Structure formats: structure tokens, C-alpha cells
Amino acid sequence: TARREAWWPPRTQVPAAPPPMTQAQIDAKFLDCAAQVMPADAGRNILAAVKAFPEQQSLDGVWPLLRKA
């Protein structure tokens, strides 16, 4: 009814979520964070190792990278 509609608060617009990050943005964020605790080349090596996970039979090559970092 018209009376009930007058009682309800007005609708508010909820802002849309930001678009998801691109792979390049994710990589840049990882490298930026990694640079806080390790040399840049170590961060790049770890990122490359993580990206290669789907093709790896074993993670044995990753552990030394993390220990050195």
C-alpha cells in the first residue's frame, strides 16, 4: 500500500565490487610484498616456481628457494 511504501527507507545503491586483479597485477603485488623480505631475484624465482606448480611432478625444487629467501 502507499502508506507502507512511505514507511520503508529509501533504497541505497551498493557500490559494485572492484574488478578482479589481472595476472600482471597479482604478480606485481607478490613481487612488491616479497621485496620487503628478500632480494628481488629471489622473489622472481619463487614466483616462477609457483606459476610452474601445475606442470610439476614434485615440489622438491621449491623448498630450497623458500629456505634461501
CA angle 27, 30, 32 (to 5 degrees): 110
pLDDT number for residue 11: 76
Whether the predicted pLDDT of 68 surpasses 80: no
DSSP readout, 2-69?
Answer: HHHHHHSPPP-PPPPPPPPPPHHHHHHHHHHHHTTTS-HHHHHHHHHHHHTGGG-S-STTHHHHHHH-
Look up the pTM and report it.
0.66
What amino acid occupies position 6?
A
Higher-pLDDT residue of 12, 32? 32
* Whole-number pLDDT of residue 69: 53
